[in-house]
Amino acid sequence: MKNIDYKLLHAFNMVIKYESFDKAAEFLYLTQSAVSQRIKQLEQLVSQPVLIRSTPLRATEIGKKLLNHYYQVQQLEADLLPHIYPEDLISPLTISLATNADSLATWLIPALAKLIQTHNIELNLEVTNETNTIYKLKNGEVFGAISTQATALPGCVVDKLGNMNYVLVASPDFRDKHFKKGVNKDALLKAPGLLFDSKDMMHIEFIKKEFGLLQGSYPCHIIHSSEAFVNFAKQGLAYCLIAELQIKDELKEGKLINLLPKKQINQTLYWHRWSLVKGVFKKFSDNIIEQGSNILS
């Protein structure tokens, strides 16, 4: 039976992390040739390619599985070393998780704040659409992900966090200018909307379901920021779907108007993470579950 050589996995991880053999070599204090040789040795060990030599460099399916295993071994090591060498200065522990932008803009940071303040941690937040965060976990890039998917991945567990409610809003001036006769198909063909990105299916599916309009048939700005959504809407530049949790004050003060009070979208969020979670990773996981369950409806 062949044993995994973690020296080779470490080199592979650096190549994927920096998307470059040269940068990985610089980090590892090796030559580019030596790093390349380690990748070849790893591929010989598993008898198949682990790297797609494209731009950027990408891991193959078996490569993703190896990286996922490597990250979990790192987690176990990080939990064990302080008990073995309590007097040694331990390097910061990198904790990577995937989140949707709306959770990050509302309830997630308070869930992480105390642990970041009390532990030697480098936090890496991968921010993407809530339907895509699960792929970050599947590919081994993060130890946990906030997602709309209810089913756990192999080797992972999942807990329900709660519902995040979204409402269609605009400023009073925007409403008076574009929706004098209410929100209807004709008005939406001219009024500019707002998307988080081109894969913002929540907005696209909502407009399609309620008004029969297809993506591309109506104008939409694209801004990759939940906070900018609020500012854009408050400035009267667009209408958009925003998490109600994020704009409670604006709705109360009348700076934003709920355009369709009888219609809202409820997205159920789930917390996925590796089955084998210990130490600080478990504390992070527990805090996310507790905060999410307390804040989300």
pLDDT tens, 126-138? 998 888 899 888 8
Lowest-confidence region among 5-9, 74-78, 188-192: 74-78
Between CA 43 and CA 49 the distance in angstroms is 5
pTM over 0.85: no
Q: What is the pLDDT of residue 92?
A: 75
Residue 120 lies in a domain: yes
Same domain, 185 and 241: yes
Residue 278 lies in a domain: yes
Q: What is the pLDDT of residue 289?
A: 95
Same domain, 85 and 173: no
CA torsion, points 178, 182, 184, 187, in degrees to nearest 10?
-10
Same domain, 188 and 103: no
Is the predicted pLDDT of residue 86 greater than 60, yes or no?
no
Would you place residue 88 in the very low, low, confident or very high pLDDT band (cuts 50, 70, 90)?
low
Same domain, 178 and 141: no
Q: What sections of the chain are H helices per DSSP?
A: 6-18, 21-28, 32-46, 61-84, 101-106, 108-118, 133-138, 172-178, 185-188, 201-211, 226-234, 248-253, 279-295
Residue 291 lies in a domain: yes
Residue 52 lies in a domain: no
Residue 48 lies in a domain: no
Residue 26: CA count within 13 A, CB half-sphere = 7
Residue for token pair 């470059």: 20
How many domains, in total, are found in the chain? 2
Between CA 160 and CA 242 the distance in angstroms is 21
Same domain, 157 and 93: yes
Same domain, 244 and 178: yes
Same domain, 83 and 139: yes
Same domain, 258 and 135: no
Same domain, 111 and 224: no
Is the predicted pLDDT of residue 279 greater than 90, yes or no?
no
pLDDT tens profile 2-21:
678 888 888 888 888 888 89
Residue 98 lies in a domain: yes
Residue 200 lies in a domain: yes
Between CA 16 and CA 67 the distance in angstroms is 9
Kindly provide the b/e burial profile for residues 13-44, where b requires at least 16 CB atoms within 10 angstroms of the residue's own CB. Answer: bbbbebebbeebbeebebeeeebbebbeebbe
Assign residue 245 the CATH number of its domain. 3.40.190.10
Q: What is the pLDDT of residue 262?
A: 92
Mean pLDDT of 17-44: 87
Q: What is the pLDDT of residue 6?
A: 85
Supply the mean pLDDT for the chain.
Answer: 88
Mean pLDDT of 36-58: 86
Mean pLDDT of 162-187: 95
Same domain, 285 and 205: no
Between CA 23 and CA 4 the distance in angstroms is 24
Same domain, 251 and 110: no
The answer to whether 272 touches 144, Cβ cutoff 8 Å, is yes
Residue 10 lies in a domain: no
Same domain, 89 and 177: no
The domain of 224 spans 164-267
| Strand, helix or coil for residue 121 | strand
